[in-house]
Structure 1
């Protein structure tokens, strides 16, 4: 460190959140990949099973752009896990319907996701697990609820 470098007085929250999120995403990708799914495919299946939803609604839930959503649903259709159908509520709309096979895969993928999360939190005491998830929930619904509008894309922190 040079004499001109500012001294860090607090832990680098951005790095801590970004690094742990990146590691969790890579573990999730590897675990879901074992059953031929991506995290996006899992997200679409689970949320499409909850209630009748359009591609646009599912894209919003999964924070996906339209192109990514189309590619994801195409992959689910090709695998026989979901299909586009006319809505029962609005004949102009099309919804993503999960097939019987897709529902079984969604149940398995949810077990995988739950296990990855449990493994990630496994080194913490039960009290610390509860505190971490509670506090992250508070941040996600409060101070860190909405990204800032910026013309410069945010990039992943260096490791």
Structure 2
């Protein structure tokens, strides 16, 4: 005798968010790959341009572990887009400085990121888009603003940026 699956009483929000997030990340990766960047490289470049930031600060913004951050900055350095420099305000700290070419590529990558997001949202009618964005922001800043402790490791989501 085969057991019956329990009836679902709510929409599978986890599936919906995971599926759309994965599809969006894959579109973003493909679009940024056209200019030789990854989403992490883009994140580091744009946030390093905002203000003087250390590698640790940028890793926190991009929700990257230390190893991933080192690999990302190494790739940016090898491409001539960023470099590690002593901080102007704290000689003990090293910051990630974006080169002139890195700033040019960051502007281009931001156009790509904006285009991918715009195309995704254009799949919705204007009135639904407004409601969707309002609801997502409400979840991100409210009920789902922070993960909870769990006995099993859960893969971390990338931070905004």
Q: TM-score, normalised by structure 1?
A: 0.93
| Other-structure match for 2:19 | 19
Q: Distance in 2 between matches of 1:138 and 1:58?
A: 25
Counterparts of 1:44-123 in structure 2, within 5 Å, are 44-123=44-123
Structure 1 residue 134 corresponds to structure 2 residue 145:
no
What's the C-alpha RMSD, in Å, of the aligned pairs? 1.5
Q: TM-score, normalised by structure 2?
A: 0.91
- 5+ residue gaps, structure 1, are none
| Other-structure match for 1:124 | 124
Q: Distance in 2 between matches of 1:134 and 1:54?
A: 33
Equivalences, count: 155
- 5+ residue gaps, structure 2, are 156-161
| Other-structure match for 1:6 | 6
Structure 1 residue 36 corresponds to structure 2 residue 29:
no
Moved more, 140-149 or 23-32: 140-149
After superposing on structure 2, the runs of 4+ consecutive aligned residues of structure 1 that deviate more than 4 Å are none
Secondary structure in 2 matching 1:8: coil
Secondary structure in 1 matching 2:44: helix
